[in-house]
Amino acid sequence: MSTILAIAEARDGALKSVSFQVVSEAKRQAAKGGHTVEALVIGAGVAGKAAELAAYGATKVHVAEVASYSTDAYARIAANVAKSIGAVAVFIPATAAGKDFAGQVAVALDTGLCADVVSIAHDGGKFSARRPVYAGKAVATVELATSPFVVTLRPNVFPAENATGSAEEVVVDVSGLTPRVSVKEFQKSALTRPDLAEASIIVSGGRGIKGKAEGSEDQVKQTVAENYKLIEALADKLGAAVGASRAVVDSGWRPHRDQVGQTGKTVSPNLYVACGISGAIQHLAGMSSSKVIVAINKDPEAPIFQVATYGIVGDLFEVVPEFAKEVEKVINS
Amino acid sequence: MNIVVCVKVTPSTAAKIKVGASGVSIDKQGVEYEINPYDAFAIEAALQHVEANGGEVTLLSLGAEGSTKDIRNGLAMGAVKAVHLTDDNYELRDSFSVAKALADELKSLQWDAIFFGKQAVDSDNYQVPSMVSALLELPVANVCSTAEFRDGKFRAIRAVEGGTEIVELSAKCCISFTKGPKEPRFPTIPNIMKAKKKPLDQKAAPAVENRVKVTKLELPPPRPAGRIVGEGPEAAKELARLLREEAKVI
């Protein structure tokens, strides 16, 4: 019997939901091979998480108390724990942090890495995984032939599944770790909305959000910022993240971190609401794996309607506020 | 300060993807290639550095023999020379195999810092910068929008979940870039002409065994046909109902 190491992620001392998804998937894979699951949490104020992770299948929880994030310190801690427990696999969330340090974990373990997987299979003792490539225009099946292997798991794709049991908490010795990179400053973003890459609902705006804005570049920018409040209001009713098409970002109306698509973020939320987005190939690639897609666009020929589950043909300035009202009614009913 | 920028030549983001006869890589017929957009941000950042602090920019690329003309576009942006590790089956390499080949070549090149794009828009692995840094035992900062060089150190600004981080790295380091404040420069015609004469050292990429292997490439399943709920704001009520009762997502 061997062990799968599932890395949990915490923010401000609280476990993120992706942690439960990763531990649950580790548990499902472990069940096939008669393996067990141990979890590792790294961060500040992360002690006392054993019961929460045991509720998804971890039998032991390693806790590494580290004041702030560092790529190489996180990677070394993860690799050391994986080595010490003889892990057959390391499951890491494909979050910004997970994507950042996973490569160094693989090198430290002298093994291979498969990034951003959306499913894992285990047949005849062999593991394989599927992952979107070309921003989702294609899907690759990848054989994980090495032992151990490292995978990063896309958030919101793997279901979290309650298990029974308890877990022992083990403190990881982190003394003597000097990070190669030092964080000088952290500016917490003022946004209270969920992160795009991890959100279960996303509302995005496209070129249509410009409306009748005219004048200088700055005037247009100001009007668009005002118009974007419609998108933000709908997002807030849904508890959603706010996204944007490339056209909106290239025009300087929204920051690049909001961009959904091939040169932005590839997302797979439960619900994606596209407002005034026509559906360029790069955008469609980045959001077509969403479970449900809603398109609101005045052009009935817009390519976005080809991938939409539900569409409304109409002016977003009329439809979006009305839809926000109806959403509120439904949610409160 | 001399900077090596690792670049990959990738299909244009406007390209439609079809699976090739091998079943493990794409059909290249009719596909336009270009320098990976994130690598273009890295080239731009590197050029700004050498303009401010002196030194030169070298490109290092692992890719198909035929991608030379796209690498020359990077030279036309302002890099002084390029090393092209050729492998027509580069798409089948995993990120470790690419990182190892690049790291080995980097050992024989002169540089103060190594820049990358945060990910390649074809394989979407975003692992090569971290792996190269681990192989060369260098500090790394990924997904940076800018990296300023001051008092012998880089101060890089990177977006992380929940905020922005300012990190400090010693001069010898790896930095991967995302979109920055300045768009990558367009090569001018005279610079395109000059780039034709810049040194481009082409040699076979070393073989490195894959640790993970693509066994199949396929198109995503088509989405089930959707429907138009209605026209104008009158349809909003029905849409909200469908999302609650039929799709059960709100």
Q: Per the structure block, which two tokens stand in for A303?
A: 């390519």
- Res. B66 pLDDT band, cuts 50 70 90: very high
Question: What are the domain boundaries of chain B?
Answer: 3-204, 220-250
Asked whether the predicted pLDDT for residue A69 surpasses 90, the reply is no
**Nearest-angstrom CA–CA distance, B18 and B15:** 9
Query: A residues 204-223 near B, CB within 8 Å?
Result: none
List the beta bridge partners of residue B148. Answer: B155
Please give the structure tokens belonging to residue A314: 């109409």
Q: What percent of chain A has pLDDT over 90?
A: 86
Q: Is B165–A186 a contact, with Cβ atoms under 8 angstroms apart? A: yes
Best A16, A107, A130 member to test B by mutation, with max B CBs in 10 Å, is A107
pLDDT at position A33 over 90: no
| Chain A, window 23-52: residues with a beta carbon less than 8 angstroms from a chain B beta carbon | none
With beta carbons under 8 A apart, name residues in chain A contacting B217: 133, 138-141
CA distances from B200 to A149, B80, B106 (A): 37, 9, 15
Q: How many whole angstroms separate alpha carbon B138 and alpha carbon B173?
A: 5
At A17, is the secondary structure helix, strand, or coil? helix
Question: Number of residue pairs across A and B with CB atoms under 8 Å?
Answer: 284
Which tokens is A224 given? 């668009």
The answer to whether residue B161 scores a pLDDT higher than 80 is: no
Is the CB of residue B155 less than 8 Å away from at least one CB of chain A? yes
What are the pLDDT digits (tens) for B169-193?
A: 999 999 999 999 889 999 999 999 9
Per-residue confidence at B225, pLDDT binned at 50, 70, 90? Answer: confident
Nearest CA in chain B to A150: B212
CA B126/CA A3 separation, integer angstroms: 27
Residue B162 has pLDDT above 80, yes or no: no
Average pLDDT over all residues of chain A: 94
Q: In this model, does residue A194 exceed pLDDT 90?
A: no
Contacts of A75 in chain B (CB under 8 A): 130, 134
**Strand A292-297, strand A14-15: pairing:** unpaired
Q: Are A285 and A261 in contact (CB under 8 A)?
A: yes
Mean pLDDT throughout A109-127?
92
Question: Are residues A271 and B220, on separate chains, in Cβ contact within 8 Å?
Answer: no
Between vectors from CA B65 to CA B64 and to CA B68, what angle results, nearest 5°?
Answer: 100
Q: Which fold has domain B3-204?
A: Rossmann fold (3.40.50)
Question: Three-class SS string for A115-178?
Answer: EEECEEEEECCEEEEEEEEHHHCEEEEEEECCCCEEEEECCCCCCCCCCCCCCEEEECCCCCCC
Q: How confident is the model at residue B72 (pLDDT cuts 50, 70, 90)?
A: very high
Q: What pLDDT is attached to residue A191?
A: 66
B220 cis-preceded (ω within 30 degrees of 0): no
Q: What is the pLDDT of residues A279-313, one digit of tens each?
A: 999 999 999 999 999 999 999 999 999 999 999 99
What is the mean predicted confidence (pLDDT) over B218-230?
93
- Name the residue in chain A with its Cα closest to that of B124: A133
Whole-prediction pTM: 0.94
Number of residues that make up chain B: 250
Question: Which ipTM was obtained for this model?
Answer: 0.94
Residue B219 CB contacts under 8 Å (≥ 6 apart), including other chains: A137, A138, A139, B17, B18, B19
